[in-house]
């Protein structure tokens, strides 16, 4: 706060008492004046109330005198009228007298025109008759219509028996009342108001403010309910605020409200003017005093003080030659200026000595190999030595005065900057700080040592506050010492220790030391549930539950101490009722001289590994058992599922031979198509199961693609033609190395898939050379595959399009599995609405001159032959059609044998009722039978435990001209051969017979009994490699179910059956 402001406050404080006294005096005058006005209003009220009381009392005496007349008490009403008329003649005041009965009906009146009227509804009548006393009524309009109105009064009268018989009523002329009050002089600015108990104005003076019959203002109405006389300030009808002295209806003159109002503004005008004049005078005096203080303060105080302040500011800026030089030395300020000049002279001398001392100190600091700086309490740099300036990369002049954390921002690392900010905050509060921080020395400047130039170092930073005698912080001393080498050593030790700890912690290794007595001296972590501290001083015998475990461990450790050579063993320790296994390493512990003083042990618990190994062995055994069971199940399922399909194929083939030219032949074609579909589904399920079980293996050989593609075109050509499609393959001379059966199954599934989803156009098979081999492609013009489904189509049971002509959705899944097995990637490209292209990548083989014994389609060895026979099966429809065309006449001869075949023939031959057509059909079927019997090619032995299979094979073979001998087991076959006496030309046997017997065993038994080698063909649905190997070992041929007639005929012919 400036001196002038303080002087102004002093003047204000000096004037304030006078202002307070003036205000108090004004308030007292106003209070006294207001009290005088109130007394004046009350006095006038009493005068008006007294005059009004006289008028009302006169009216009361008048009506009371009438109530005491004899004729009223006696009830002589006829004398009443004359009496009132006489009174009215004497005085105009009696002209409004009226007498009523108890019901308010006027019996007689000084105004005869009012006789018969009723006063029952008038308030003054009700109060007088009800309360039995004199009552003043409410303002009413006069009977004559006078604008002034009238004020009725009434008093009850009694009859001779003392009962209230009615009232005597009198109406006072309100205009006369107003005139009476107006005749009496009222003080200026004074008003008079008289109203009835309901608030209707009776008298209002002066008359310009209102007239009789009007309602009191709302501000007055609240006063009607008061119980005592009083004084209040209220605005009147003219809006002027008045001090009212009032008498409510319940006080003073009963049933009348009287108030006298004095204009408050007029009454207080003199006081208000006096107040205003006094305040203006006080304010003027204050302004004069303030102006005098301002001028005097400026001349005698502010200017000398400004000189002192200016000199002090110059000194703070280093201008030590500045002096105040005040001419007035007699005043206090002048003496202060002179003292300041003398002090400046002494300080200037001391400043010179101090600069010289600082020069010596700076020379010492610059010579130190440490970073030293002096900071202000707010962190600004005051001084730095040369080493610190070089570290900052700036000259000292550019460092001094700048914030220390800003100068060191680029030098310190991130952690150091944060610690520096915290240390500066602590230093400002008087607390020291010490921390280590990374420091980057500025490049291109010389440092205390050339070896430290342009490199990073770790600095021990210390910030110490300097305080004065009062404990206030004056400076902060910042120092930094290079501790880089020490930190590197500490860090190397820490990292090494941390690595060891981390390795031990994460490896689960328990490391401990034992002395020569095998007592624990140190342990890294708990051992056998015992904490490291609890291990110290104990031996293995103290820890182990079983003594033999401790003896074995201690013996091992003693051997290590004696030999000086470490050892590693897997040991078992029984602890808490369970076996625990440890991989224990024991090394000798040597002292600095090399003498063995104990052992160092590292133990890794391998109990879980032991348990896992045991569980793995059990799981492997269970898996082997499960795989063996699955293999057996697949073999059984393969046989059992193919048996009914096989019988249906045999019967349809037999029927086809016998129904040539019959109208029912198309129905048989439909049955064959259904069997083809069933066969496809069955093959897919069984192949997928074998792929899942890993029973299918690949045997790659050299394969010529042209023959494989040609065979597929020949097989699927009729089906494509039936759908109106063109199926062709581009000729190729390429050879590839692959498993032919598996590759044929892949291409077969792709061709079937293309035919299924192509309704018009063509399907094309071709080959393309690639840098890494050969690519076989299958193109179609079908519906195409959505881009987001290209990956899904290779999953099991995934299909696109309508449900017609679809299988289980396994075709492409089998392609995917087989391609993985062979290592042949399969890719697909598709264009919706235009078609698709599938490609199989194959390794190409470049052959020279083919060997003489090389085959067009090499027969895979071992287990692949079984897969080839199943996966490369020809179409049943093509085989049946070829059979029907070639052997129509000869293959229907045996249909008269066996009731089952006859029943099927009758079902397709015509109507059951007699007729020419039916008889002709029967003759047609029976005729070839006789021919076949006479031209038998030889006898064939058929062994199968399924009767339906026997019937089917017998029907086909007899249709081909063979004599057939059937048996359900090997023993039955031997019996029937003995009874027949002939030697079979060939033996057909199912692999799986009853009671665990097999077809190969039965064929061998037949050969043994007959003493000669008879060709044997084993029929089986088991496509495993074991069956193929067994057949080859015994010298039999094997034919997988379902058996197609053409395949059977070719194999019988190759086996030597005529």
- Spatial distance between the Cα atoms of 263 and 251, rounded to a whole number of angstroms: 24
Query: Count of H helices and E strands in the chain?
Result: 31, 33
> Per-residue pLDDT tens for 594-609?
899 999 999 988 888 8
pLDDT higher than threshold 60 for residue 446: no
* Cα atoms found within 13 Å of the Cα of residue 335, Cβ hemisphere only: 3
Q: Kind of pairing, strands 986-990 and 1016-1020?
A: parallel
What residues contact residue 639 under an 8 Å CB cut-off, 6+ apart? Answer: 991, 992, 1020, 1021, 1022, 1041
- Spatial distance between the Cα atoms of 948 and 469, rounded to a whole number of angstroms: 124
512 and 522 Cβ atoms separated by less than 8 Å: yes
Q: What is the band of 987 on the pLDDT scale with cuts at 50, 70, 90?
A: very high
Distance of CA 1020 to the CA centre of its chain: 61
Least confident among 535-549, 681-695, 784-798: 681-695
523 and 529 Cβ atoms separated by less than 8 Å: no
Higher pLDDT, 938 or 1025: 938
Beta strands in 520-664 (DSSP E): 520-523, 567-575, 578-590, 596-605
What residues contact residue 580 under an 8 Å CB cut-off, 6+ apart? Answer: 528, 572, 573, 574, 605, 607
Topology adopted by domain 508-605: Beta-Lactamase (3.30.450)
Q: What is the band of 539 on the pLDDT scale with cuts at 50, 70, 90?
A: very high
pLDDT higher than threshold 80 for residue 799: no
Topology adopted by domain 624-699+860-1058: Rossmann fold (3.40.50)
- Spatial distance between the Cα atoms of 383 and 363, rounded to a whole number of angstroms: 12
Exposure of 519 by Cβ count < 10 A (0-12 exposed, 13-18 middle, 19+ buried)? middle
Q: How far is CA 387 from CA 324, 374, 451, 750, in A?
A: 42, 13, 13, 84
**3-state SS, residue 695:** coil
Tokens of residue 544, six digits: 């182990």
Interval 271-275 mean pLDDT: 74
pLDDT higher than threshold 90 for residue 943: yes
> Per-residue pLDDT tens for 2-41?
666 777 677 777 777 877 887 777 777 777 777 877 887 7
Are 368-487 and 701-848 the same fold in CATH?
no
Q: In the prediction, which pLDDT does 727 show?
A: 92
Strand ranges across the sheet with 1037-1040: 963-967, 939-943, 986-990, 1016-1020, 1037-1040
Tokens 């070839």 found at? 928
Interval 562-569 mean pLDDT: 92
Strand ranges across the sheet with 826-831: 726-729, 762-770, 773-780, 835-842, 826-831
The dihedral built from the CA positions of residue 133, 134, 140 and 144, taken in this order, carries a sign that is: positive
Using alpha carbons, select from 218, 200, 87 the residue that is nearest to residue 150.
Answer: 200
pLDDT higher than threshold 90 for residue 567: yes
Percentage, residues of the chain above pLDDT 90: 10
Neighbours of 927 (CB within 10 A): 14
Q: What is the largest CA-CA distance in the chain?
A: 187
- Spatial distance between the Cα atoms of 194 and 214, rounded to a whole number of angstroms: 11
Tokens of residue 579, six digits: 């076996």
- Spatial distance between the Cα atoms of 625 and 1041, rounded to a whole number of angstroms: 27
Q: What is the band of 855 on the pLDDT scale with cuts at 50, 70, 90?
A: very low
Interval 959-987 mean pLDDT: 90
Q: How far is CA 271 from CA 265, 284, 850, in A?
A: 10, 20, 147
Go through 483-516 and write b for each residue having 16 or more CB atoms within 10 A of its CB, e for each that does not: eeeebeeeeeeeeeeeeeeeeeeeeebbbbbbee
Interval 214-229 mean pLDDT: 80
Least confident among 233-237, 513-517, 932-936: 932-936
Compute the mean pLDDT over every residue in the chain, rounded to the nearest whole number: 76
Q: In the prediction, which pLDDT does 1 show?
A: 61
> Per-residue pLDDT tens for 615-673?
888 888 887 777 667 656 655 665 566 667 767 777 777 777 777 777 777 777 777 76
Phi, psi of 608, rounded to the nearest 5 degrees: -65, -40
Tokens 């090619």 found at? 937
Interval 175-188 mean pLDDT: 75
Q: In the prediction, which pLDDT does 208 show?
A: 58
Q: Kind of pairing, strands 762-770 and 826-831?
A: unpaired
> Per-residue pLDDT tens for 360-393?
777 777 777 788 888 888 888 888 888 777 777 7
What residues contact residue 944 under an 8 Å CB cut-off, 6+ apart? Answer: 950, 953, 966, 968, 988, 989, 990, 993, 1019
- Spatial distance between the Cα atoms of 864 and 14, rounded to a whole number of angstroms: 128
Q: In the prediction, which pLDDT does 683 show?
A: 67
pLDDT higher than threshold 70 for residue 411: no
Angle value at C-alpha 517, between 512 and 521, nearest 5 degrees: 30
Q: In the prediction, which pLDDT does 776 show?
A: 92
Long-range CB pairs of 220-225, under 8 A, 24+ apart, other chains included: 220/193, 220/195, 220/244, 220/259, 223/248, 223/257, 223/259, 224/195, 224/197, 224/199, 224/248, 224/249, 224/257
Neighbours of 285 (CB within 10 A): 14
- Spatial distance between the Cα atoms of 578 and 599, rounded to a whole number of angstroms: 27
- Spatial distance between the Cα atoms of 842 and 834, rounded to a whole number of angstroms: 26
Tokens 């205000």 found at? 23
Percentage, residues of the chain above pLDDT 70: 79
Tokens of residue 146, six digits: 């006078």
Long-range CB pairs of 270-278, under 8 A, 24+ apart, other chains included: 270/33, 271/26, 271/29, 271/30, 271/33, 272/30, 274/26, 274/29, 275/26, 275/29, 275/30, 278/22, 278/25, 278/26
Go through 880-905 and write b for each residue having 16 or more CB atoms within 10 A of its CB, e for each that does not: beebbeebbeebbbbbbbbebbbebb
Instruction: For helices 1025-1034 and 864-871, give the axis angle rounded to 10 degrees.
Output: 110
Least confident among 167-176, 631-640, 746-755, 785-794: 631-640
Q: In the prediction, which pLDDT does 924 show?
A: 29
Q: In the prediction, which pLDDT does 803 show?
A: 46
In the CATH scheme, what is the code of domain 368-487?
3.30.450.20
> Per-residue pLDDT tens for 874-915?
333 333 333 333 333 223 333 333 333 333 333 333 333 333
* Cα atoms found within 13 Å of the Cα of residue 796, Cβ hemisphere only: 9
In the CATH scheme, what is the code of domain 701-848?
3.30.565.10
Neighbours of 112 (CB within 10 A): 12
Supply the DSSP symbol for 894.
G
Q: In the prediction, which pLDDT does 688 show?
A: 63
Interval 144-163 mean pLDDT: 79
- Spatial distance between the Cα atoms of 942 and 968, rounded to a whole number of angstroms: 8
Length of the chain: 1058
- Spatial distance between the Cα atoms of 560 and 538, rounded to a whole number of angstroms: 19
Residue spans of the domains in the chain: they are 368-487, 508-605, 624-699+860-1058, 701-848
> Per-residue pLDDT tens for 301-344?
766 777 777 777 777 776 777 776 676 666 777 777 777 777 87
Tokens of residue 493, six digits: 């030790």
Torsion over CA of 999, 1004, 1006 and 1012, rounded to 10 degrees?
140
Higher pLDDT, 699 or 597: 597
Q: How far is CA 389 from CA 383, 455, 466, in A?
A: 10, 15, 22
Using alpha carbons, select from 867, 876, 909 the residue that is nearest to residue 892.
Answer: 909
């Amino acid at each position: 706060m400036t001196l002038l402001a303080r002087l102004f406050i002093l003047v204000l404080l000096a004037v304030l008492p006078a202002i307070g006294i003036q205000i108090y005096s004004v308030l007292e005058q106003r209070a006294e004046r207001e009290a005088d006005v109130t007394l004046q209003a009350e006095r006038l009220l009493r005068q008006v109330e007294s005059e009004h009381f006289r008028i009302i009392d006169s009216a009361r005496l008048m009506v009371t005198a009438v109530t005491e007349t004899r004729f009223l008490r006696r009830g002589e009403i006829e004398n009443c009228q004359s009496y009132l008329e006489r009174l009215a003649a004497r005085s105009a005041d009696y002209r409004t007298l009226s007498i009523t009965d108890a019901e308010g009906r006027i019996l007689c009146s000084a105004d005869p025109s009012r006789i018969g009227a009723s006063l029952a509804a008038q308030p003054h009548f009700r109060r007088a008759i009800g309360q039995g006393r004199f009552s003043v009524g409410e303002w009413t309009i006069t009977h004559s219509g006078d604008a002034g109105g009238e004020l009725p009064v009434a008093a009850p009268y009694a009859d001779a028996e003392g009962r209230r018989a009615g009232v005597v009523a009198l109406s006072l002329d309100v205009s006369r009342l107003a005139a009476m009050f107006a005749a009496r002089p009222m003080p200026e600015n004074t008003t008079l108001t008289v109203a009835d108990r309901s608030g209707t104005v009776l008298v209002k003076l002066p008359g310009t403010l209102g007239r009789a019959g009007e309602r009191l203002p709302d501000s007055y109405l609240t006063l009607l309910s008061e119980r005592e006389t009083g004084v209040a300030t209220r605005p009147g009808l003219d809006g002027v605020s008045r001090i009212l002295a009032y008498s409510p209806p319940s006080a003073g003159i009963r049933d009348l409200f009287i108030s006298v109002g004095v204009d408050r503004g007029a009454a207080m005008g003199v006081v208000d003017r006096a107040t205003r004049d006094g305040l203006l005078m006080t304010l003027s005096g204050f302004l004069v005093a303030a102006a005098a203080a301002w001028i005097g303060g400026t001349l005698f105080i502010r200017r000398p003080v400004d000189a002192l302040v200016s000199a002090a500011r110059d000194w703070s800026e280093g201008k030590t030659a500045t002096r105040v030089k005040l001419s007035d030395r007699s005043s206090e300020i002048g003496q202060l200026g002179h003292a300041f000049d003398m002090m400046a002279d002494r300080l200037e001398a001391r400043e010179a000595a101090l600069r010289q001392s600082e020069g010596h100190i700076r020379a010492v600091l610059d010579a130190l190999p440490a970073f030293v700086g002096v900071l202000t309490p707010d962190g600004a740099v005051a001084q730095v030595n040369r080493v610190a300036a070089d570290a900052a990369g700036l000259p000292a002049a550019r460092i001094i005065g700048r914030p220390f954390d800003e100068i060191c921002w680029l030098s310190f690392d991130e952690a150091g900057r944060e610690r520096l900010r915290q240390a500066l905050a602590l230093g400002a509060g008087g607390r020291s700080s010490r921390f280590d921080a990374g420091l980057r020395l500025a490049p291109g400047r010389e440092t205390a040592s050339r070896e430290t130039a342009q490199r990073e170092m770790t600095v021990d930073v210390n910030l110490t506050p300097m305080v004065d005698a009062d404990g206030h912080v004056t400076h902060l001393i910042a120092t930094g010492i290079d501790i880089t080498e020490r930190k590197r050593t500490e860090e190397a030790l820490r990292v090494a220790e941390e690595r060891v700890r981390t390795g031990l912690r994460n490896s689960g290794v328990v490391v401990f030391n034992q002395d020569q007595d095998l007592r624990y001296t140190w342990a890294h972590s708990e051992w056998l549930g015992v904490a490291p501290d609890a291990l110290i001083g104990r031996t293995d015998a103290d820890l182990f539950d079983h003594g033999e475990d401790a003896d074995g461990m201690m013996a091992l450790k003693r051997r290590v101490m004696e030999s000086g050579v470490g050892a590693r063993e897997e040991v078992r320790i029984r602890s808490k009722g369970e076996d625990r296994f440890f991989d224990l390493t024991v090394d000798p512990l040597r002292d600095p001289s090399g003498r063995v003083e104990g052992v160092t042990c590292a133990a890794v618990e391998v109990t879980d590994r032991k348990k896992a190994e045991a569980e793995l062995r059990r799981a492997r055994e269970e898996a082997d058992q499960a795989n063996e069971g699955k293999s057996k199940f697949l073999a059984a399922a393969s046989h059992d599922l193919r048996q009914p399909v096989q019988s249906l194929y045999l019967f349809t083939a037999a029927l086809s031979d016998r129904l040539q030219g019959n109208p029912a032949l198309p129905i048989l074609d439909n049955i064959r198509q259904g069997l083809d579909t069933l066969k496809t589904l069955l093959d897919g399920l069984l192949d997928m199961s074998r792929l899942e079980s890993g029973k299918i293996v690949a045997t790659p050989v050299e394969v010529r693609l042209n023959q494989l593609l040609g065979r597929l075109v020949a097989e699927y050509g009729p089906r494509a033609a039936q759908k109106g499609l063109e199926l062709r393959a581009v000729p190729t001379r390429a050879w590839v190395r692959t498993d032919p059966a598996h590759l044929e199954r892949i291409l077969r599934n792709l061709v079937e898939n293309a035919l299924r989803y192509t309704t018009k156009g063509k399907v094309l098979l071709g080959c393309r050379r690639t840098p890494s081999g050969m690519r076989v492609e299958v193109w179609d013009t079908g519906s195409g595959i959505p881009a987001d489904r290209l990956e899904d189509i290779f999953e099991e049971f995934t299909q696109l399009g309508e449900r017609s002509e679809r299988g289980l959705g396994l075709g492409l899944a089998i392609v995917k599995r087989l391609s993985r097995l062979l290592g042949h990637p399969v890719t697909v490209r598709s264009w919706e609405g235009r078609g698709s292209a599938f490609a199989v990548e194959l390794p190409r083989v470049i052959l020279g001159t083919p060997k003489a014994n090389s085959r067009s389609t090499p027969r895979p060895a071992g287990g692949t032959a079984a897969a080839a026979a199943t996966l490369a099966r020809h179409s049943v429809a093509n085989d049946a059609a070829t059979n029907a065309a070639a052997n129509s006449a000869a293959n229907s001869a045996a249909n008269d044998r066996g009731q089952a075949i006859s029943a099927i023939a009758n079902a397709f031959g015509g109507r059951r009722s007699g007729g020419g057509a039916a008889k002709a059909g029967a003759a047609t079927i029976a005729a070839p039978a006789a021919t076949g019997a006479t031209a038998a090619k030889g006898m064939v032995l058929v062994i199968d435990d399924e009767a339906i299979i026997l019937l089917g094979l017998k029907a086909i073979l007899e249709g081909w001209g063979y004599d057939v001998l059937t048996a359900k087991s090997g023993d039955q076959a031997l019996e029937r051969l003995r009874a027949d006496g002939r030697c079979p030309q060939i033996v057909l046997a199912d692999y799986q017979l009853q009671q665990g017997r097999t077809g190969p065993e039965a064929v061998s038994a037949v050969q043994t009994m007959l003493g000669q080698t008879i060709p044997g063909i084993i029929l089986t649905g088991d496509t495993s490699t074991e069956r193929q190997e067994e057949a080859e070992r015994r010298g039999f041929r094997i034919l997988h179910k379902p058996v197609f007639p053409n395949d059977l005929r070719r194999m019988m012919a190759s086996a030597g059956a005529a």
